[in-house]
Amino acid sequence: MQHEREVLERVTQARSAVSTARETGSVAALGTAETAMRAGLASLFAVAENYPELKADRTFQHLQTRISQLESQIADRREYYDDAVNLNNIRIEQFPDNLLAARFGFGPRELLSFSEEEKADIDLKTLFVR
């Protein structure tokens, strides 16, 4: 029960961190928080493997499906964001857009970046080794 509680607490903390990062508008913090959320959800699903009645529950199955869909949508949005930032960074350096950018204080933005560790698939076996 302690392990399950820790998993739920990690997911809750990660969800709170995602919300805070969105409110502050920090792209770097949002990326880190979403990575922690992804790891927490993977742990949650791994814990669910120990509970066949939970795994068979329609609501839980719906949750798993919905989370998979959300992960796909998040990946699409990240790609869209990077494309928009890349376009912005190119345009603010080209004439005549650079004149407007300088006049209104538009500057370059950071692309989303994640370490190789953050991009790696989660090894569920390591989550249960104590």
Give the pLDDT confidence score for residue 114 in this predicted structure. 66
Q: What one-letter code names the amino acid at 83? A: D
Yes or no: say if 67 and 41 are a contact pair by the CB < 8 Å rule: yes
Q: Could you tell me if 111 and 86 are in contact, meaning their C-beta atoms sit under 8 angstroms apart?
A: yes
The pLDDT tens digits for 70-127 are 777 877 888 888 899 899 899 888 898 888 888 888 888 887 776 666 656 666 555 5
Q: pTM for this one?
A: 0.50
The residue-averaged pLDDT of 55-81 equals 78
Predicted confidence (pLDDT) at residue 130 exceeds the cutoff of 50 = no
Number of domains in the chain: 1
Q: Are 47 and 4 in contact (CB under 8 A)?
A: yes
Domain range for 122 is: 2-127
Mean pLDDT in the chain?
A: 76
